[in-house]
Amino acid sequence: MDKPESKPAKVWNEIFDKPDYIFGTEPNDYLVEKKESLHPGQKVLMVADGEGRNSVWAAALGLDVDAFDLSEKAVAKAEKLASEKGVSVNYSVSSVDEWHWEEENYDVVVVIFVQFATPNMRTRLFANCIRTLKKGGLLILQGYTPKQLEYKTGGPSIPEHLYTEEMLRDYFASLEIIELKTYDAFIREGARHTGMSGLIGMFARKNG
């Protein structure tokens, strides 16, 4: 992003400019856990989707998927993965602030390990995620907790970028929180996310 509070596009392009999928090609485990709540035809937004592992999986379920990422390199790899899997995803190159957050536009918003955001940017991002959900829409979020600083198996090294249950309850107070859990698990998500990890998962609904 071209804002001083986050990594610029150039840095993310350098990170993703590798032949391998650095976060793997399999979907996030917490997202897969919510499969029964996802139905063909639902309109879904994948926030900062990276190389496409989650958007491609969702599209294979028959969902209508929009996905964006700041990195052109990541989006190109996502498009390649979607083509190889024979699915269609509406990909865009965009930062979280530049994305067109249309009001009440999505049935589901998915936010998986979007932890580059500083507190100020995170406030804007989460508010926009709520705004773009339709009434009755679902939010699926996965992130790292401060415990991850001990494991050092992926994610940011800056404490302010990590999530706690109290933080998420505050940000998403307007939603019905169906599940909010902090837990440790061994994950395998490519070279950048592998090993025992301190995780948090949230599943919420926008009512009224």
6: pLDDT strictly greater than 80: no
Phi and psi at residue 202, to the nearest 5°: -135, 135
> Percent of the chain beyond pLDDT 90?
90
Q: State the pLDDT at residue 208.
A: 74
Pair 198, 144: CB distance under 8 Å: yes
> Percent of the chain beyond pLDDT 70?
97
Higher pLDDT, 118 or 104: 104
- Whether the pTM exceeds 0.85: the reply is yes
165: pLDDT strictly greater than 50: yes
C-alpha pair distances (Å), 129 with each of 16, 96, 105, 138: 25, 10, 10, 10
Task: Supply the mean pLDDT for the chain.
Answer: 94
Pair 198, 157: CB distance under 8 Å: no
Phi and psi at residue 123, to the nearest 5°: -60, -45
User: How would residue 195 be classed by pLDDT, with cut points 50, 70 and 90?
Assistant: very high
